[in-house]
Structure formats: structure tokens, C-alpha cells
Chain A
């Protein structure tokens, strides 16, 4: 009997309102770092419990202790400063890393959080990092002579963290590279940097990529030196499958079936149809079913409902096709 169609998520979960309040209170100096940490730990336990109740196969810690996916790491590294707010859209702003000197990892960034999350469950918890190309592309560079030089130094630092996660016991390590798809001419640099970041890491390695011109970067994307590439399928109405038809997808795939930008809860039937379309081109053992991207922009309730429908759809497909987990 074939195995496959394991269920997971891309990484972030929505922060519950009381945690958002606590983060704001901490920023205003109204609560201590210890108090915030306590609230973050409780919220992480809740996220782990939710994932178990929903029935996901591979869990995440939910990244409830992180803000922006680059700034979180930059704040913990030597060589980075953090800018004043920069607008990303409308009234949304974020503080952007500034590489002001040689960038280095001087402490663990996520290992303690990973250990804590893993201690709450028997199921595997993914280690979650941001990739060197994306860290470079989404930072200002005041120090390095080239984008390549910054990316490769970041790759060294990220590799140290990935190895530390694997040594702590992480069986899955995801190194997100959402920036890859927007500068196809730098795909070779991204491949090299990511390759260095995961070199010698004894775990299943994954990268997540979203939004971009896949016509230009596929099939070259398959050169990324990881075991699994996680992609958004639902948001583009599964049109990536047309490209897979022209050129076979040869790696394991994180197969996104939930549109994370929509409040609408997908129906079980539409998710099943999406998976069945994938099974026309992919083997079940290649496929890990998940949302298109992180769930942090949804409400806690929306995230749970979407994931519950996803897991129900996968169970039905497994049953109908005789696939086991």
C-alpha cells in the first residue's frame, strides 16, 4: 500500500489577540520580557495542541515569538542594525534589517523554541528558518561589496543554526526563500547560498517559495539543493500543474491547497479535487499537503477551520486511493 499525502503547515500561525496585546504592552515597557515569554510559551502550547487535535502529521511551533521573518533573525545576529519603519503596503510598516558590518550568528536563534515545542508532542516538529537569499534581498546593505557576499555570509550563519537544530533532533528543517521567485536572474546565487545553508545538515530539508514568475524560474527551481520544495498551488488555481506536465517535478513537494489570503474556508471537495489533480502527475510519497503559505494573516478560528477541512480532505483521498500515512 503506498504511503504519502502527509499533512503539515508552512510555518506561522496567527497570534491570538491576547498575545498581540502582550507584544504591544512589552513594546511600551508595560510588561517584562519574562512575562511576554511566558505568554508566548502558553500560546505555543495551544498551537501544538490545536495541530494535534486537527490531526496534522508534521507540526510547527507557530512562530508566535517572531515578528517579521527577516527582522527576527537579524535582531539576534551580530552585524545587523534595524531600520526605522518602512512601508510595505498602505498602513502596514516593518523594520528592515541593515547589514552594517560582517553578519554572524553568535547565539542560537530558534533551537530553544524548537526544543520546547517538540517537548509538547510526540509528532515531529519542523525547524523553521529564513533563507540566506531572502535575508539578503530583504535587508539594506551598507557593508558588503555585493549581494552575493552578504548572501554567502548569511548562508554560513544559517547553516550553523540548521546544524544545531538537526543536532537537537529536528527531522525536518525548512529554510524559507520567498524572495527567490522575484529575481529569476539571481536563481544561481540563491541555489548556491541555500546549498551552503543546508550543506551537511542531517535532516530532511525543505524550502518554501511563494508568489512569483514560475514561468521564468521553473524547471530551474528544481536545482535548489533541498529534499522538498514547498509551493502555493491553490492561490494560482493549480496552474503550476501545467508546468509540471511539461517538465516533471522531481523532488518532494509541499503542496499548497489553502489560499491563506482569503477569509473563505475552502470546501473539502475543492481541496480533494486539487489533490487528485496533483496525483495525476505526482506520486503520493512525493506530496506533503499544506496551506499555500504561513497562516499568520488569518484569524485563529479561520486557520483552524481551514486546516480541519484540509485534513478531512486528505483522509478521504487516502481512503479512496488506499494510501497510508
Chain B
């Protein structure tokens, strides 16, 4: 059985080749009044084209668009949802990156598509179905400051319903895959299980697209009992930083898929594809009733672009070896 490959989240925006369209340079020039929003849109389009092409030429089965317009992993979507305001920069967990903290200032409601236009533009550049990426509702809530709701359950449900409507809009635009990135699930305690389930239930309910629930950095073991039976299709696990996530594979419901996060998105050290393939075979030996994806542990944007590109090549090579030797 073939092991499908995909990335978990975004991809570095800077070009590998000097002189190629560069959103960083154009944004700096805009700050100096030397470039226009049209110049930036053009650079962003070419950057997306490059990111999609890099994945396709490496043989990634389910590419992503790289989230070129996003400043961080939360605010691009939060900014477009009614009820959120965007506040100051704070640290993004232990990644030594930052995000602007969303603040829930009023009732959260979805009023218009936020990511659909980007998705359509990227899909038009691709030769295979892209995976749309959204922040997970539980994480978006936990990354935010809630100034409006008195009951956290009411708040997470509202965030979940809003993201469910965004997912529906993506489906209507043709998205075959929708990925929810949920770093906070790995930090949730058992007491948070009901809250996590309340957040996630709306986004998986009634989906036509295949859905991925991806948990980078840590194992979601403490709340897995509450989210195990939700209607996700793929559970993405970080098996590098959170090797204890291996134990969850035994608990995945029959017929689902597991995304094996074995390509480390937080360290430049390159994996040996043979070793990664061996780990894939180890997983397959554990359960014959599951499907498998091989993915990065998290967003490759934590790496410089040269290493990120090498990691993509290792990812597809490892999947090829795993499929050839055990499929």
C-alpha cells in the first residue's frame, strides 16, 4: 500500500535562487514607498507558484499552498472572522517565533470566506488536489484572549462553528483536503478534554473533504479519549518531538489514517530516508486496518528555505522506500 506524503502547514517564503521574486524584499520596498500592493501581490503569487512546484517536482502527493500571505499561524484567519480583534506580538509557544494575539472582543461569527481566494489561486497553479490549512479551533481559542464570553465552552463552540463555515467555503471552492493545525491539543490536560471536543466537533461534522487533525510538538494523549471518535480522517502526530505519540496509534479507530510526523520541521539535521522508511514500516506493522501518510512534524517555516526543500526531498524518498519495501 502506498504511503501518501504531505506537509503539515506552511513553507518558507524566501526563494532558493537569488533574484527570484521575493515577498520579503517587496514588503521592505513597500515600507520605503518604492513598491505597490500590486507588486506584493505579484511576488506572493510567484512565491506560491514556486512552493507548489517544489512539492510537485519532489513528488509530494498532497501539496499545500505555503500560506504565503500569513504573518503567523493564527491571525490571518482570526482577522477575517467577526468578533476577533488583533493585539500585540507575543511568543508562539516554544518556537522562538511570534504571533499577534487575537482577542475575542464580541460574538464570534463567520461572515465571509477568509482563505478561499488564496486556495483557488494556488489550486489553479497545481496539478493535483491541494490541502487547505486552517488553524484548529481549540488552538485558536487557546492562543486568543477571551474578553467576551464568560463560558469557555460557549467560546470554543463559537470558534469551532466559525471555522466549520470556513471549511465549508473551502469545500465549495473544491478543496478535497482540509488540515486543522492543533498545537494546543498537545498541551491540553485531561480536564480540558470536554472543551477540546466542543471546539473540534463542528469542524469535522458533515465534511465532504478529507480532514486532517494535526498535533505538532507534543502528544494529545491527555485528551485523546474525547477526540478519538470525532469525524476526522487523518490524525497527524509529531513522532520526533513527542515520541510518546506512538502509543496513540493503537487507539486510532479502524479505517482511519495516521499522519506519521517523522520529518523534523524544527531541526536542520537531515533525516536518513532509510531510517524514516523503517519507522513507517514499524507503524504499519502495528495496525493493518489503518491507512498511512508520511508528513513533516510541523510547519517547515521553522527552517531556512534551503533545509526545508531538502526535507521535502527526504520526505518523498522515505515514502518511496517505505512503499517499495513494505507495501
Residues of A within 8 A of B (CB): 83-91, 93, 96, 98, 137-138, 140-142, 179, 182-183, 211-212, 261-262
Contacts and interface: CB of A to CB of B under 8 A. Distances in A.
A83 B97 CA distance: 16
Contacts of B23: 91
Contacts of B12: 86-87
Interface in B275-327: 301-307
B218 to A, nearest CB: 10
Contacts of A85: 14, 304
Nearest to A212: B91
Question: Closest 5 interchain pairs by CB?
Answer: A84-B304, A182-B94, A90-B71, A89-B98, A140-B268
Contacts of A142: 267-269
Residue with the highest number of chain B CB atoms closer than 10 Å, among A90, A98, A141, A261: A90
A89 B97 contact: yes
A161 B100 CA distance: 36
A142 B305 CA distance: 17
B307 A88 contact: no
Nearest to B94: A182
Contacts of A91: 23-24, 27-28, 71
A90 B305 CA distance: 15
Nearest to B13: A87
A141 B97 contact: no
B306 A86 contact: no
B27 A84 contact: no
Interface residues of B, number: 30
Interface of B: 12-14, 23-24, 27-28, 71-72, 88-91, 93-94, 96-100, 267-269, 301-307
Given A87-B12, A211-B91, 7 more contacts: A84-B304, A87-B301, A89-B99, A91-B28, A137-B96, A140-B269, A182-B94
A141 B12 CA distance: 19
Contacts of B302: 86
A15 B281 CA distance: 54
16 contacts: A83-B304, A83-B307, A84-B14, A86-B12, A86-B301, A86-B304, A87-B13, A88-B96, A89-B72, A89-B100, A91-B24, A93-B14, A141-B267, A182-B93, A183-B94, A211-B90
Nearest to A184: B94
A89 B71 contact: yes
Contacts of A140: 267-269
A178 to B, nearest CB: 8
Most buried by B among A91, A96, A212: A91
Given A83-B268, A84-B304, A84-B306, A179 B96 contact: yes
A8 to B, nearest CB: 24
A183 B97 CA distance: 14
Contacts of B28: 91
Nearest to A235: B88
Nearest to A210: B91
A297 B99 CA distance: 16
Contacts of B97: 87-89
Contacts of A89: 71-72, 89, 97-100
B98 A88 contact: yes
